Structure 1
Amino acid sequence: MEYDPELCYCPKCNDEYRAGIELCAACGVALLTGKDMLLRHQAEISRLTNRRGALKEDDELIAIQKGPLGDLSRLQKRLEAERIGTMLKGDESACGKGCCPSVFFLLVRRDDARDALNIVEAEHIRLTGLSSQELVRSDAVFDPQREAAACPACGHVFETSRTECPECGLCFA
Structure 2
Amino acid sequence: MFYCPSCGDEYVPGIAVCSSCKVPLISGEEKLSRHIEKEKNSASRSMDISPEDDLVNIRKGSLHDMKQLRRVLAAERIPALIAGDESCGRGCCGPELLLQIKRVDVDEALKVLAKDFIKSTCLDSHDLSNAQAVFDHQAAETVCPACGCRFSPT
TM band (smaller chain): 0.7 to 0.9
Structure with more contact order per residue of length (Cα contacts < 8 Å, sep ≥ 6): 2
Q: Residue 151 of structure 1: CA displacement?
A: 3.1
Corresponding residue number in structure 1 for 2:27 = 33
Query: Helix, strand or coil: the match of 2:60?
Result: strand
Corresponding residue number in structure 2 for 1:71 = 65
**Correspondence for 1:119 among 107, 112, 129:** 112
Does 2:13 align with 1:55?
A: no
TM-score of the superposed pair, with normalisation by structure 2: 0.78
Distance 1:122 1:56 in 2: 27
Task: Give yes or no for contact 1:64–1:108 (8 Å, CA) kept in 2.
Answer: yes
Larger Rg: 1
Equivalent pairs counted in the alignment come to 152
Task: Give yes or no for contact 2:2–2:25 (8 Å, CA) kept in 1.
Answer: yes
What do residues 20-74 of structure 1 show as CA deviations (whole Å, max 9, x unaligned)? 3112245443211223212211221112112121211111111111111111111
Unaligned runs of at least 5 residues, structure 1: 1-6, 164-171
- Percent identity over the alignment? 38
Aligned-partner residue type, residue 85 of structure 1: P
Q: Please tell me the root mean square deviation across aligned C-alpha atoms, in Å.
A: 3.0
**Correspondence for 1:152 among 127, 137, 145:** 145
Corresponding residue number in structure 2 for 1:104 = 97
Unaligned runs of at least 5 residues, structure 2: none
TM-score of the superposed pair, with normalisation by structure 1: 0.70
